[in-house]
Amino acid sequence: MATGYLYHELYEWHDTGTHASLLPADSRRGLQPFRHFENADPKRRAHALVVTSGLINRLTRLTPRRATDEEILLVHTAHHLQRLTKANDTGGDAGDGGTPFGRGSFDIARLALGGLIDSVKAVADRYVDNAYALFRPPGHHAVPDSGMGFCMLANIAVAVRAVRRSHDVRRVAVVDIDVHHGNGTQTVFWEDPDVLTLSLHQDQAFPKNSGFLTERGGGAGFGHNLNLPLPPGTGNGGYSEAMRRVVLPALRRFRPELIMVAAGFDASALDPLGRMMLTATGFRQIATMLVDAADELSDGRIVCAHEGGYAEAYVPFCTHAVIETLARVERPFEDPFRFDTLGQQELQPHQKAAIKAAEKLVKDVQHP
Amino acid sequence: MATGYLYHELYEWHDTGTHASLLPADSRRGLQPFRHFENADPKRRAHALVVTSGLINRLTRLTPRRATDEEILLVHTAHHLQRLTKANDTGGDAGDGGTPFGRGSFDIARLALGGLIDSVKAVADRYVDNAYALFRPPGHHAVPDSGMGFCMLANIAVAVRAVRRSHDVRRVAVVDIDVHHGNGTQTVFWEDPDVLTLSLHQDQAFPKNSGFLTERGGGAGFGHNLNLPLPPGTGNGGYSEAMRRVVLPALRRFRPELIMVAAGFDASALDPLGRMMLTATGFRQIATMLVDAADELSDGRIVCAHEGGYAEAYVPFCTHAVIETLARVERPFEDPFRFDTLGQQELQPHQKAAIKAAEKLVKDVQHP
Amino acid sequence: MATGYLYHELYEWHDTGTHASLLPADSRRGLQPFRHFENADPKRRAHALVVTSGLINRLTRLTPRRATDEEILLVHTAHHLQRLTKANDTGGDAGDGGTPFGRGSFDIARLALGGLIDSVKAVADRYVDNAYALFRPPGHHAVPDSGMGFCMLANIAVAVRAVRRSHDVRRVAVVDIDVHHGNGTQTVFWEDPDVLTLSLHQDQAFPKNSGFLTERGGGAGFGHNLNLPLPPGTGNGGYSEAMRRVVLPALRRFRPELIMVAAGFDASALDPLGRMMLTATGFRQIATMLVDAADELSDGRIVCAHEGGYAEAYVPFCTHAVIETLARVERPFEDPFRFDTLGQQELQPHQKAAIKAAEKLVKDVQHP
Amino acid sequence: MATGYLYHELYEWHDTGTHASLLPADSRRGLQPFRHFENADPKRRAHALVVTSGLINRLTRLTPRRATDEEILLVHTAHHLQRLTKANDTGGDAGDGGTPFGRGSFDIARLALGGLIDSVKAVADRYVDNAYALFRPPGHHAVPDSGMGFCMLANIAVAVRAVRRSHDVRRVAVVDIDVHHGNGTQTVFWEDPDVLTLSLHQDQAFPKNSGFLTERGGGAGFGHNLNLPLPPGTGNGGYSEAMRRVVLPALRRFRPELIMVAAGFDASALDPLGRMMLTATGFRQIATMLVDAADELSDGRIVCAHEGGYAEAYVPFCTHAVIETLARVERPFEDPFRFDTLGQQELQPHQKAAIKAAEKLVKDVQHP
Ligand SMILES: [Zn+2]
Ligand SMILES: [Zn+2]
Ligand SMILES: [Zn+2]
Ligand SMILES: [Zn+2]
């Protein structure tokens, strides 16, 4: 049983500048210089915990290389590739005005994507049984012609297309637990019946007007995009129920050969951008269900790609819990933050209602 | 029409150390050194915005002095006073193991409290019509014998007792909008019919097992403590409803001579500790209702004391909106963060139910 | 006896981005994102000390306004003005590739310069006796057609021209104690016999090939530019000697009506960019000599404009010592850093030699 | 040819608290909370450069373990061991009031020391040819009964004693290039003729009254402690001369079986604590001379232990140059900071005089 683990120090070097958390510093708008939410700390500290807890000794280190133009063009337009290539020397924005990056950041984005592609292939090849890719920048908001929401490249979408091209893998399920809607992945695979895209997210958080239950895929892909917008304030109980009622049944119907997880941690109870209440316990429960599903359905093949998550001190513990689950660690490292007892961690009726609405759509998921 | 404004640079110097956001850094527990949530930045930046926006020119600056032992003993025990006095030279913890402070921090806590006392007296004296006290450390969790939850001294409680002693003020209402339960204030005035303590907070967030609807005051004070635990995820709509259905009716029945506001901003949509969704718009609405209530009931006398709030980039805009409201600024400064359109900002049925439960208790509020 | 004091919170908002101290972050060159040496902290903390020590109560606060185009054009070219004006909306570089700035930074640069102009005029008008202007960005490297070395505008040069235009002031001496050569001021007044520019600096530190003894002014201005390059490692003793042997005699010969001081603190013993050893004691000695010279020569008229200085924890104490001297505070605040006893703080023979070489040039300073 | 490289993520977790660079934050002394000079960044960033430049691929990673009590007692007193053991749960100070540490920091200090001991043994065993140990906390100021100057344990001294006990190594030379005097190592080996301790440092910087030429060792050790205090402002030229005139001749006379280097980088041109001007070029020159000396004298056996160095952006390049030298990298990574051309980088006469004074003492170094 081997779990691949991807990390590279250069992921810490992606530069998002002196923002006021989200917005460019601007004295005229009252925005004093500070740091960007999407800075290196949450992921740097997550990696540090993986090392210092000793978990690293249970993992197989994977070494990244830069994704090629050809790989990027599997999903992205030449226009977007050109934009990033040109701005790599000066820094710039990836397209939506909210995705700043610095000198050399596109090299780093390539190193993240290339690392993910190879992680997926390592699982497809059975070099490792499953894998966790811890990197920056994230990917699930990027669309073919533009970066978006801190994402420069559509990491998971490209990796899925790449592995389907190189390996005998057809049916892929992408489970997105980032607190924001996985709009980029949805867009790329909108008409593709062979990729089931599932997104659990906070109702209408980001992007605007995106992530509704009614977005179900188009053409041959109808039914194979499934959004489950959850009410703000949803905790471990609500997420577990959503997994049990919607995600797992959908996966069982679809029978993927590979499960990809958009592993955002901005649904944690300490995240400044999300309003959810997941704890390390909740993330562990979700991961356990997904690993079990992979055992049952995809011969254990599951790859997690790190997405958002901005709680510098807490992302490490949540990430650690997921990686421990992949690696089937028996005695997990203790989460010193005690947020399991927050009020309303258990499933609430209004959350149940939202989940039930999505549950009805599961029947349209087919084994393609 | 004059609004008093209290701030002092020393409030930025209160030292909470290299915590992992909430917990003491400890390599053995996986807690890499970082910063404490309750560091100077949110309030420092709030003051900076008040200055740079020009709002400062509409305000009357109030100058703090240190609270005396005698004032502190109006609420606190000699034991607690002694603990803080002794640890002022070395730094220490204010009593609950979660309220770290540095060398000289007790001097700063005195400067905050002294400033608040004088702000309240300035309003009682009609030197200013109302006032905003922007300081650290916060106060609403501190109990007579101990600090708690980042609070060293029970700022509002002491100020209320002080002004009642020095001025012809008897009936005081304390409205606590910090995302956490105002347990300290509740404790101090538990049996006091002349102080109406109202706390709107996230259900069972902090402290543990505190802030329930069923905590209503004791003895002669029964009915004059009113907790309104709101579900995590409550936004501008839910808070407005809670104000209209519970807080304002209770204030009207009680007819305070002075309204104190425990102005925490950790119910903001970007707070890492709270799970609520208030925006500057929502805080402005709350403040407007409270200012109107003061006009109607307490001859305009209202004093806001800053409590929690940990979103470094967003606390400034929320604070600014409240101060603008006190100062009756016609053309408010624009909030560049656009979180008013987050999903479920409007009142939700389950929030309405929680509010209705509290509404039933309003009838027991009396004009004392 | 009144000392004017200029500061504005917006000076903290000038944004120099995520540099690796000096160089733009760039993963390909090994430059991990960090902060720029010229960030807000040294000056923000200096102001904080002025407030918290109580020194502020001895000072007359001056309020800045933005310098006008017309004022800027007293020194700068239309080309440079246009460059800054255009880049104010986006951020950019002030011309040398090493002077980054952010959105709205040019507004702040105007607010610094406008504040300095008015500070100088306040002294010329005898509204205050002398003044200290604590601001960012600095100015002494900027040349007419370009910013340079973190300086966007030639603050002192513009202020000197402005006051000479508006007031009955002709002879101005500029004493530059920043660790780097005051090349901008030198350039502006190169041929002007009425402005004596004196720069004490670390030999060949910045800019390259600048600041030599042999640069003496041109045309009618010959002899009225005096550079004193000091060996790296010079401390309180060497600086005192330089003041006594060169600066004071030159001032006495010149008989200025106004003394301007380019008050950089990067010659401090803890500065990361300079290699000198001045302590608060040394800065106090220099300031005392200059204040005495002003008393003797310019009817007490002396204005200090803050330039460089990058030791976040020590700049406050050095700045404080200079302001105390202007305000003739009898009992100075104690410097808790004990660097007066560093080895070789006293005058060294090789420093003496360098000073003597400059001393010979003093004879060419004339009363114009 | 193999170069061992020791690093562990836990070295970043040693917690030195919210100091004002050097001194404990204290509002009453004007010391606003900030960070300690000896924080994780300089070394964390040095390691990051080693990884991202690809140098890591030329190195043999060494894995640390914690030093045992028995090893610590090779140099330290039971009293000091007990002090650190007791304070490991709470944090404290290592004995001089200027060496703060946090919870679990003693575990990290053990991990540094244990790693160094094993690095030295790996070289003695010829598992690797030479080694670089990059860790925190530093060690060269610690004396047997106390920590001092940010140093908790006398790392090099313990490692020397340990390897002499376990291996057939008798004569060890310790060359200390940290900008401060290596007083701890001097103290431990004061009377030991078999350990030649050489310290190049800034004259009388730290500790006070320490590091004089006249401190030459006692008893049988006389002549085998050699201090070379250099004038502040010394650059690449002065250091090279000192190496050529004093260090190399002394090494040749002594004929060590092992060379230890106390590799501090606070003599760099950007260091806030030191006043020297070494650049990556200068450090490379020093390292080259030492590596050549090791080739000539000690069969190539040389181990560098990282000591001080506080320039977050520049320490990485200096460290990198030294490690490249150990690993005999032909095409070094470019230093983007251009400080080789600072004025007076070349040897100055007054530096030459200081070096000559030390040169006279070399004759008393004997092959023991
Ligand atoms: Zn997200
Ligand atoms: Zn709170
Ligand atoms: Zn300078
Ligand atoms: Zn040192």
**Tens digits of residue pLDDT in D57-82:** 999 999 999 999 999 999 999 999 99
Provide the mean pLDDT of chain B: 98
Task: For residue B137, say if its preceding peptide bond is cis, omega within 30 degrees of 0.
Answer: yes
Selection from A165, A164, A167, A160 nearest residue A186 by Cα: A160
Residues in A touching D9 (Cβ below 8 Å): 47-48, 51-52
Interface test with A, best of B16, B32, B276 (most A CBs within 10 A): B32
For domain A3-23+31-364, give the CATH superfamily.
Answer: Histone deacetylase domain (3.40.800.20)
Has residue D120 got a pLDDT over 90?
yes
Query: What count of CB pairs under 8 Å joins A to D?
Result: 20
Residues in A touching B47 (Cβ below 8 Å): none
> How many residues are listed for chain B in this entry?
368
For the stretch D130-170, pLDDT in tens is 999 999 999 999 999 999 999 999 999 999 999 999 999 99
Q: Taking every pair of C-alpha atoms in chain B, what is the biggest distance, in angstroms?
A: 57
Interface test with A, best of B44, B278, B344, B345 (most A CBs within 10 A): B344
A15-28: buried (b, 16+ CB within 10 Å) or exposed (e) per residue? bbbbbbbbbbbbbe
pLDDT value of position A367: 93
Q: Taking every pair of C-alpha atoms in chain D, what is the biggest distance, in angstroms?
A: 57
Residue B67 tokens read as 């609270």
The closest CB to that of C103, out of A15, A25, A103, belongs to: A25
Are the Cβ atoms of B333 and A30 closer than 8 angstroms?
A: yes
Task: Calculate mean pLDDT across residues D267-275.
Answer: 98
Task: Calculate mean pLDDT across residues A257-286.
Answer: 98
Residues in D touching B28 (Cβ below 8 Å): 103-104, 107
Task: For residue A137, say if its preceding peptide bond is cis, omega within 30 degrees of 0.
Answer: yes
Are the Cβ atoms of A15 and C18 closer than 8 angstroms?
A: yes
Q: How far apart are CA C117 and CA C156, in angstroms?
A: 8
Q: Å from A344 to nearest chain B CA?
A: 7
Task: Calculate mean pLDDT across residues C46-69.
Answer: 98
Provide the mean pLDDT of chain D: 98
For the stretch C241-291, pLDDT in tens is 999 999 999 999 999 999 999 999 999 999 999 999 999 999 999 999 999
Using CA coordinates, name the residue in chain A closest to C25: A103
pLDDT value of position B1: 79
Q: Å from A53 to nearest chain D CA?
A: 10
Residue C83 tokens read as 């460059």
Helices C280-297 and C315-326, axial angle in degrees (round to 10): 30
Has residue C24 got a pLDDT over 90?
yes
Task: Calculate mean pLDDT across residues A112-133.
Answer: 98
Q: How far apart are CA A166 and CA A195, in angstroms?
A: 16
Task: Calculate mean pLDDT across residues C102-129.
Answer: 98
* Cα three-residue angle C333-C336-C338, rounded to 5 degrees: 125
Are the Cβ atoms of B51 and C13 closer than 8 angstroms?
A: no
Residues of A annotated as catalytic are 141
Residue D42 is classified by DSSP as H
pLDDT value of position A31: 97
Are the Cβ atoms of B275 and A232 closer than 8 angstroms?
A: yes
For the stretch A291-318, pLDDT in tens is 999 999 999 999 999 999 999 999 999 9
Q: How far apart are CA C321 and CA D214, in angstroms?
A: 37
Top-level class of domain C3-18+35-334+342-364: alpha beta
Q: How far apart are CA A189 and CA A191, in angstroms?
A: 6
Residue D366 neighbours by CB distance under 10 Å: 13
CA of D228 to the centre of ligand 4 (A): 15
pLDDT category of residue D96 using cuts at 50, 70 and 90: very high
Selection from C130, C131, C132, C150 nearest residue C140 by Cα: C150
Residues in C touching B10 (Cβ below 8 Å): 51-52
Chains that touch A (3 or more CB pairs under 8 A): B, C, D
> B354: number of CA atoms within 13 Å, CB side?
27
CA of A282 to the centre of ligand 1 (A): 17
* Number of the ligand closest to the Cα of D180: 4
- Using a 10 angstrom Cβ sphere, with 0-12 exposed, 13-18 middle and 19 or more buried, the burial of residue A337 is buried
Residues in B touching A202 (Cβ below 8 Å): 343
Which stretches of A301-345 are assigned E, i.e. beta strand?
Answer: 302-306
Cβ(B3)–Cβ(B130) below 8 Å: yes
- Using a 10 angstrom Cβ sphere, with 0-12 exposed, 13-18 middle and 19 or more buried, the burial of residue C57 is exposed
First to last CA, chain A: 29
Q: How far apart are CA B247 and CA B148, in angstroms?
A: 26
Are the Cβ atoms of C25 and A103 closer than 8 angstroms?
A: yes
- Write the CA distances from C39 to A41, C43, C99, C137, C310, integer angstroms: 20, 8, 12, 9, 8
Q: Tell whether the torsion through CA atoms of D253, D258, D259 and D260 is positive or negative.
A: negative
For the stretch B66-94, pLDDT in tens is 999 999 999 999 999 999 999 999 999 99
Task: Calculate mean pLDDT across residues B20-35.
Answer: 96
Interface test with C, best of A8, A9, A15 (most C CBs within 10 A): A15
Which stretches of chain A are assigned E, i.e. beta strand?
Answer: 3-6, 19-20, 23-24, 59-62, 92-93, 100-101, 130-133, 172-176, 195-202, 225-230, 258-263, 302-306
What's the one-letter identity of residue B46? Answer: A
Selection from D225, D183, D229 nearest residue D204 by Cα: D229
Helices (H), chain B: 41-52, 69-72, 78-87, 105-124, 155-166, 183-188, 236-242, 248-254, 280-297, 315-326, 349-359
The closest CB to that of B10, out of C9, C47, C52, belongs to: C52
Task: Calculate mean pLDDT across residues D294-314.
Answer: 98
Q: How far apart are CA B194 and CA B199, in angstroms?
A: 16
Q: Which fold, D3-19+33-364?
A: Arginase; Chain A (3.40.800)
Residue D316 tokens read as 């990485």
Q: What are phi and psi of D164, to 5 degrees?
A: -65, -30
Q: Taking every pair of C-alpha atoms in chain A, what is the biggest distance, in angstroms?
A: 57
Three-state DSSP class for residue D62? strand
Residue A145 tokens read as 């012609």
Using CA coordinates, name the residue in chain C closest to B44: C9
Are the Cβ atoms of A203 and B343 closer than 8 angstroms?
A: yes
pLDDT category of residue C1 using cuts at 50, 70 and 90: confident
The structure tokens 């009593």 sit at B95
pLDDT category of residue A1 using cuts at 50, 70 and 90: confident
- Which long-range contacts (C-beta less than 8 Å, at least 24 apart) are formed by D213-219? D213/D357, D213/D358, D213/D361, D215/D186, D216/D361, D216/D364, D217/D186, D217/D189, D217/D190, D217/D191, D218/D190, D218/D191, D219/D190, D219/D191
Residue B70 neighbours by CB distance under 10 Å: 8
Q: Å from C55 to nearest chain D CA?
A: 12
Are the Cβ atoms of D103 and B24 closer than 8 angstroms?
A: yes
List the domain boundaries for chain B. 3-364
Selection from C194, C14, C223 nearest residue C100 by Cα: C14
- Write the CA distances from C365 to C198, C361, D334, integer angstroms: 11, 8, 46
For residue A302, what are the β-bridge partners? Answer: A259
Q: Å from A309 to nearest chain D CA?
A: 21
Chains that touch C (3 or more CB pairs under 8 A): A, B, D
Are the Cβ atoms of C104 and A28 closer than 8 angstroms?
A: yes
> D346: number of CA atoms within 13 Å, CB side?
3
Residues of B annotated as catalytic are 141
Using CA coordinates, name the residue in chain D closest to C342: D205
Has residue C333 got a pLDDT over 90?
yes
Residue B126 is classified by DSSP as T
Cβ(B133)–Cβ(B115) below 8 Å: yes
Residue A105 tokens read as 């950041």
Provide the mean pLDDT of chain C: 98
> B102: number of CA atoms within 13 Å, CB side?
31
pLDDT value of position D3: 98
* Residues at Cβ < 5 Å from ligand 4 ion: D 178, 180, 264, 266, 308
CATH of B3-364, one of 3.30.420.40, 1.10.3720.10, 3.40.800.20, 3.40.190.10: 3.40.800.20
pLDDT value of position A270: 98
Are the Cβ atoms of C51 and B13 closer than 8 angstroms?
A: no
> How many residues are listed for chain A in this entry?
368
Are the Cβ atoms of B203 and A31 closer than 8 angstroms?
A: no
Interface test with C, best of B52, B53, B111, B320 (most C CBs within 10 A): B52
Residue C125 tokens read as 């008008």
> Residue B71's Cα: distance from chain center in Å?
19
Residue C106 tokens read as 């040019």
Residue C328 tokens read as 């003739």
Helix, strand, coil fractions of chain C, as percent rounded to 5: 40, 15, 45
Selection from D37, B349, D261, A280 nearest residue C337 by Cα: D37
Helices first, then strands: H and E counts in chain D = 11, 12
The dihedral region occupied by C54, where left means phi > 0, alpha psi between -120 and 50, and beta the remainder, is left
What's the one-letter identity of residue D119? Answer: S
C206-241: buried (b, 16+ CB within 10 Å) or exposed (e) per residue? bbeebbeeebbbeeebebbbbbbbbbbbbbbbbbbb
Q: What are phi and psi of A64, to 5 degrees?
A: -85, 160
Query: In this structure, are strands B302-306 and C100-101 parallel, antiparallel, or unpaired?
Result: unpaired
Are the Cβ atoms of A336 and B23 closer than 8 angstroms?
A: yes
Q: Å from B39 to nearest chain D CA?
A: 10
Catalytic site includes residue D201: no
Helix, strand, coil fractions of chain B, as percent rounded to 5: 40, 15, 45
